């Protein structure tokens, strides 16, 4: 019998995959909510300053469809993550760093939580075992 030489999947990679799945589900659910919100009369939202603003139906449809698409992309990224793809490693690291940067623009509105979560993601995905896992395929 021949044994496979692929390393065992580290817990940090499994944790990252679960976080990506949760993000995917959240994006798809919110995308559907935005699409259904456009069906109401005079859709409005309250911005971070407490001001109420009217939103066009096109805006809600477009953002809803983009969120659903992003959720599907996240499911694809989860599959790559669990397969040990180097592409997944790059995309996860790049998206986490971008989210850290954008977190600084939202410090008064939950930005610190975004920065901390994404910093943890960067640290988890760059452990020695995770790097070995992600070096299996391109």
Q: pLDDT (tens digit, 9 = 90+) per residue, 9-28?
A: 899 999 999 999 999 999 99
pLDDT band at residue 47 under the 50/70/90 scheme: confident
Residue 2 per-residue DSSP state? P
Q: Packing angle between helix 86-104 and helix 57-83, nearest 10 degrees?
A: 140
pLDDT band at residue 1 under the 50/70/90 scheme: very low
Q: Stretch 70-75: mean pLDDT, rounded?
A: 94
Q: Read off φ and ψ for residue 52, nearest 5 degrees.
A: -90, 130
Q: Packing angle between helix 111-125 and helix 11-37, nearest 10 degrees?
A: 140
- The percent of the chain in helix, strand and coil, each rounded to the nearest 5, is 70, 5, 25
Region label for 105, one of left (φ > 0), alpha (ψ between -120 and 50) or beta (otherwise): alpha
Predicted pLDDT at 5: 64
- State yes or no: pLDDT of 138 exceeds 80: no
């Amino acid at each position: 019998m021949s044994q496979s030489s692929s390393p065992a999947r580290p817990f940090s990679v499994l944790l990252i995959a679960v976080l990506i799945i949760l993000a995917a589900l959240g994006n798809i659910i919110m995308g559907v909510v935005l699409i259904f919100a456009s069906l109401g009369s005079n859709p409005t939202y309250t911005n971070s300053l407490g001001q109420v603003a009217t939103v066009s139906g096109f805006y809600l449809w477009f953002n809803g469809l983009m969120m659903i698409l992003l959720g599907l992309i996240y499911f694809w990224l989860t599959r790559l993550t669990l397969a040990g793809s180097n592409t997944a490693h790059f995309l996860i690291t790049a998206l986490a760093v971008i989210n850290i940067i954008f977190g600084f623009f939202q410090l008064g509105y939950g930005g610190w939580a975004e920065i901390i979560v994404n910093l943890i993601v960067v640290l988890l995905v760059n452990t020695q075992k995770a790097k070995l896992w992600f070096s299996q395929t391109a």
